[in-house]
A and B are shown apart, each in its own frame.
Chain A
């Protein structure tokens, strides 16, 4: 028995999931090409700059929590953290991950430890120093991160996850100390703040694609093509909706309300 008012959403969810799986399977035979994401391509350069300057890299996933609807953004941020940690380990750069939710700590610690192991530098990873729990309160966390910025002067600041009012506090503080910055969030209200202050920006869906993009895995990149096909479907639905509404029909609206 399906819940009334959610049938269309379920149908669309299943259709998009099938499309994504098909695209992932097709990608095994024919690797899709997609546009460059400047922010993600710049990561090795950002970390290289930190290596030259002998300064650390700061990483935050914002106010990401595993048990809220922001979990997907947190997972996206953690995927990039793994990649960043590996490059940092290879280049001998200390990466500092400041933690907002304590639940994330064991995951991040394990993930970074593995990244250092892959780089052959497992012994250089200092969990107590590099994975720092700050606070579970928004502005206490914001102040603590600002403190890290002012005292340790990271050469690069990477922020991927859900951000709220602290976005500008972070971006401006790191700008003032001369950090090169990459920011990415799917929270629409914070995107303009990051856009005006940060050097590189990942807009919404780009953060979800980031893990697949940096992995260069054929199957994962196939899922990005699936997302694009989903966008075409949304576009077609919008056009059909506009035409039907102009023609005085509520047919599509009624179908969506099923």
Chain B
């Protein structure tokens, strides 16, 4: 079976996972789970390729090739490799070393020189029946890249006290409407006219919060999703900000149908605020009518 491929690069020899390098059985996939314990993040990575592919399997058995997981966090200047000869690789990273987007990619890398390398199913069009001499350190397979976001606090670097990505603040400069004050910040502050802020805060408490969810959060979240999914440069410049990364990750985790409109996706991420809103509205109407 031919998979889509993980990267599209030019290598001088076939690389598993690279588009067009194989005519069949080119799967090389990474899955990853993580949790936090103490002062460390714990990761468990699993690698997968076609079951009967014994060419790479033999190289691994002979320790001529090793599995390598690369963890890369540009923001905190962190890039580290974790190696092994099993398809499951576990490792820990101290929480005070990574912040923001961390990219995980798996590789198969030559641990020693390999003469006459010619993997099963290599693209006939590109490589014919050629074989290749591989030097140590050469990449032989590249997986999909998985992105996780970490946002520790300044002092207590744990995940338990993360701030909301959208918050509402009183604003002197607007009098008639609410709006996001600055898109270029990690936390989106939505300005509410100062004179209305006290009433706004009351209406956002208790069961009345469903009104605020529909009237304030939903339109803002809709625009947030639109910006995250937009291709234009103006919006892409926000890609390292917390609100952007959190929403991007939520959309990915929820596995939402990409054809849905942003306002529908927003409702799904909010776990369907409409029902609670209607129920609360109905309750208030009934109270009002019956006294």
- Please say whether chains A and B are actual partners in one complex: no
Q: Name A residues whose Cβ lies closer than 8 Å to a Cβ of B.
A: none
Q: Name B residues whose Cβ lies closer than 8 Å to a Cβ of A.
A: none
